[in-house]
Amino acid sequence: MNDDKEIYNVCLRLLARREHSRKELLNKCLIKGYDKSDILAVIEDLARQGWQDDLRYAESYARHRIQKGYGPVSIICQLQQNGVNAVDLEDIVETVAGSWMDALAQVYDKKYKHNKRMDRQEWAKRSRFLMQRGFPAAMISLLFNRLDSNNPKF
């Protein structure tokens, strides 16, 4: 029972700093040497009490990453690695950036303020940057097509 109290305190300290997924809490407690079954029981108890919530974690994480300029591919991949699979990013992006195209345009404008004509090499360089940020190729192509037609509004 003493371990349960320690695990509970460790998890509460972590959750007081920021939201954590169940998997993150489990991994951090395993590193400290606690038994997996004890950890899972404590995390379940914390979830029942409302201290831990994977959906709330996913929303917080996605909101933060969108504000940092990351796209849907990157965010979904990272959430899956952290043990969260079911999250509706569309509602979150709508409140943070308006749409994924708006978020992409903001990232692009911040990085490439000057709107010089792009040759093939520059196009590839900019595409790679945006893909590394987690935006899909189709969305990037749409952005470049709209930039070519000198239509800055999305």
Q: Show Cβ contacts of residue 152 under 8 Å, excluding neighbours closer than 6 positions.
A: 146
Percent of the chain with pLDDT over 70: 94
Q: What is the pLDDT of residue 150?
A: 62
CATH code at 1-52: 1.10.10.10
Predicted local confidence at residue 1, as pLDDT:
54
**Tens-digit pLDDT profile for residues 102-149:** 999 999 999 987 666 778 898 899 999 999 999 999 999 999 888 877
3-state secondary structure at position 70: coil
Q: How far apart are CA 48 and CA 42, in angstroms?
A: 10
pLDDT band per the 50, 70, 90 thresholds, residue 154? very low
Q: What residue has token string 């849907």?
A: 72
Sorted by where each begins, the domain ranges of the chain are 1-52, 100-148
Mean pLDDT over the full length of the chain: 88
